[in-house]
Chains A and B, each alone.
Chain A
């Protein structure tokens, strides 16, 4: 069982969360071309090692989080809110 340290709720079982996906994707603007969207949503890296990914604390505080997790060992290096403003708040409160 992966344990995720939610910045709002503390360390919880991964079963409280829903997996999102690659957290490093810059989604194109809505009026971007099909090609850019295709690139963003279909062509994903299959990383061996640490990757940034989004998790939703769906059975908790409902916050979307960026989790830095190893796809090999499940080791988690960091957990932050996705929203940049909230990231700052959490950082300042440390």
Chain B
């Protein structure tokens, strides 16, 4: 492990930016590098949007150098790998051998350790639960040199899954994969005219499709409030052989001096997205189905140097409808639409982590270019709605939630505290526990 001078780091939203000294982890068997002063925090691939992977003034433990596979049993689908391996690297190994990730978020450029530390969810949450539900064990390295092998239901497992990197360094983990016949997804698309229709479709589709998600046009108002497109999918059966597709990758090579995402662009984009002709039934390669945004590398740069906010919240089923109407209405009135508003209902499988975000209810993820006070006012107003509805915000996407909102939505935070490694800390944690 080695050190480099203090450099600026940020999450995917490019805000906030913090300065920390980088420590490279390259060997899972070596002890944590422990500077005389200051705190550490693991940094995976920086795909969390806000300050969850940041530790201003401290040390970042860069985990990408822990990128080795340890064991893979292609008959049982059990994979053991170091925590800095990305899902992209896992998929390159397993898909051709007939296996797939049991839970995957909307980008494959995330590390296994990052997935566990945020206890991420995917389009199949209603049937598969969170990422940690498929982790069979992992090793946690603490600053006192202790190495703990943690198994499901062990309190250290519950603290570390969704533990935001605060309980120590996850050096390796073992996950259960699901078998697939090929790399294809059978899918069904369906437009819905408003939220009422969404709930009807969702109820019916969730019973039969393992992957479901909806996109919402957040520029629409009035009777079209909450219109969108519902997408459902499942792994294609044996014998599926759709025509080959071209995989291209685009990179946004630099950050434009201003945000390319403004109100007219958003309105047009959302209108086109809703009205775009799309086949009702079809096939897709798994990559565009699960990872539509991975197609453009560094797409986060379109928001310009000021960065952007992701805002992902969850509201319980009973208050979902009213809360969603209220949220969409406030966004439409503000004129600050979001590019991709993604709506998904979670299943009832309880998450293991003390601080895991998923719980029964409906979740909506939005992104907003940072327009300073105007954006803050809108997000504060949305917070009020979520608070009233008894909802929660997702730490992995957050850089601004209030401490009292966090503490209310994550009641186990007090118990979690005792599992925090004394040499670990984060901007997020200090923000939600040390201030108001």
Q: Do A and B come from one complex?
A: no
Q: Interface of B with A (CB < 8 Å)? A: none
